[in-house]
């Protein structure tokens, strides 16, 4: 399904929304590339839905602009915008069958010959043969597909998805994530997806914006923000992170040197977001390795010793907590591949890592 007219990028310029004294969206500026799959990720209450509603025209910005290409659409009524929304609740019409639900947008525009377009849409969402069923006769996942077909048949230039998979169970949600990605690639429309589920955002989106308190904390490709988070908030929001509080003590060639409780570490300067003062040294749990306390760690790696304080079996891996002598608990994921050594609670062990997998974040002096 090709777009009828090129939409251009979606740009939010200094977008702000206040409710009385409360600022829900705070001077937000970002560009969403045409045809990309963009995720707004953040905890409940951070302002994601309000941002989406301003793009849709369901909420009026207190200030700022919503631009599609060069056109400011902030003044347009919702139905005049080349934008459609899929909600978590699906909002299907219960008294209409699936065919008529999908045909709704075309009929409202007075289009008589809807048959081939409806069938094309049902085929896109893999619901051929369901035309005469009522929404209540479909599963949650199928209803979600109908909602998607009903929105896409209008050929919007931007599709907004507000927690569209939130009502589905985990397995179905994972299936639909892959399905949504396939559909987005096929139709080539800009998708803006709101979610609080980091795995969902990273699975589907080309670009993820992590929101916190009405602002964007970090924006980038999933692997980039996961591997090299900009703030402690992002590091913790996107999965688990071990953040060790320390101070920059200098540099050595291409490395930034860090001291934490008397121990010395280094991080490639290219992976350091601070080059002086208080910092967090960060290492993801899957980048840590565990060995018995007496084992010589590989040359070039860095390590911390401690006592195993917890071992939780989580299927593909076991999560160990290693309590260091100064009380920090490091989380370590060890794959349950059958060849990995196992550790018991109370055992002494050493966690080591390749310094190229660590990162450095600025830290406020009063943090930690």
In the complex, which residues of this chain contact ligand ATP (CB under 6 A)?
19, 22, 24, 42, 44-50, 196
Q: Which is nearer to ligand ATP, 19 or 313 (CB)?
A: 19
Q: Which is nearer to ligand ATP, 162 or 179 (CB)?
A: 162
Q: How many residues does the chain have?
A: 368
Q: Which is nearer to ligand ATP, 39 or 243 (CB)?
A: 39
Q: Which is nearer to ligand ATP, 45 or 75 (CB)?
A: 45
Is the sign of the CA dihedral 286, 288, 289, 293 positive or negative?
Answer: negative
Nearest distance, CB of residue 18 and ligand ATP, angstroms: 9
Cβ neighbours for 330, distance < 8 A, ≥ 6 positions apart: 242, 283, 285, 288, 304, 306, 321, 322, 324, 351
Rounded to whole angstroms, the Cα distance separating 170 from 141 reads: 11
Nearest distance, CB of residue 64 and ligand ATP, angstroms: 15
Element (H, E) at 311: strand 302-313
Nearest distance, CB of residue 157 and ligand ATP, angstroms: 23
User: In the complex, which residue's CB is closest to ligand ATP?
Assistant: 49
Nearest distance, CB of residue 246 and ligand ATP, angstroms: 33
Q: Which is nearer to ligand ATP, 208 or 304 (CB)?
A: 208
Q: Which is nearer to ligand ATP, 8 or 78 (CB)?
A: 78
Which residue pairs from 332-340 have beta carbons closer than 8 angstroms and sit at least 24 positions apart in sequence?
Answer: 332/285, 332/288, 332/289, 332/290, 333/285, 333/286, 333/288, 334/289, 334/290
Measure Cα distances from 125 to 29, 102, 187, 266, 288 in Å. Answer: 33, 11, 11, 50, 41
């Amino acid at each position: 399904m090709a777009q009828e007219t090129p939409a251009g990028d979606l740009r939010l310029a200094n977008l702000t929304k206040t409710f009385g004294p409360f600022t829900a969206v705070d001077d937000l500026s970002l560009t969403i590339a045409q045809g990309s799959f963009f995720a707004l990720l953040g905890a409940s209450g951070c302002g994601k839905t309000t941002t989406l509603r301003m793009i849709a025209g369901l909420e009026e910005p207190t200030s700022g602009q919503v631009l599609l290409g060069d056109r400011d659409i902030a003044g347009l009524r919702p139905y005049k915008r080349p934008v459609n929304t899929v909600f978590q609740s699906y909002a299907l019409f219960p008294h209409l069958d699936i065919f008529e639900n999908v045909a709704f947008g075309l009929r409202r525009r007075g289009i008589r010959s809807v048959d081939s377009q409806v069938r094309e849409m049902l085929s896109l969402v893999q619901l051929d043969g369901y035309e005469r069923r009522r929404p209540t006769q479909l599963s949650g996942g199928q209803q979600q597909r109908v909602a998607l077909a009903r929105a896409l048949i209008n050929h919007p230039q931007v599709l907004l998805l507000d927690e569209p998979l939130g009502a589905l169970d985990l397995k179905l949600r994972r299936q639909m994530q892959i399905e949504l990605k396939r559909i987005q690639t096929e139709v080539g429309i800009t998708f803006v997806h709101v979610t609080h589920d980091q795995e969902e955002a990273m699975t589907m989106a080309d670009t993820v914006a992590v929101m916190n308190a009405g602002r964007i904390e970090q924006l980038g490709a999933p692997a980039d923000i996961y591997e090299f988070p900009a703030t402690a908030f992002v590091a913790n929001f996107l999965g688990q992170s071990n953040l060790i509080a320390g101070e920059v003590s200098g540099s050595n060639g291409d490395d930034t040197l860090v001291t934490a409780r008397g121990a010395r570490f280094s991080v490639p300067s290219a992976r350091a977001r601070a080059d002086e003062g208080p910092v967090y040294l960060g290492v993801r749990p899957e980048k840590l390795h565990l060995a018995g306390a007496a084992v010589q760690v590989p040359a070039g790696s860095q390590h911390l010793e401690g006592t195993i304080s917890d071992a939780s079996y989580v299927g593909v891996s076991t999560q160990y907590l290693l309590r260091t002598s100064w009380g920090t608990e490091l989380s370590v994921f060890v794959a349950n591949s059958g060849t990995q050594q196992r550790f018991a609670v109370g055992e002494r062990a050493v966690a080591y890592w390749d310094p190229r997998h660590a990162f450095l974040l600025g830290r406020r002096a009063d943090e930690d």
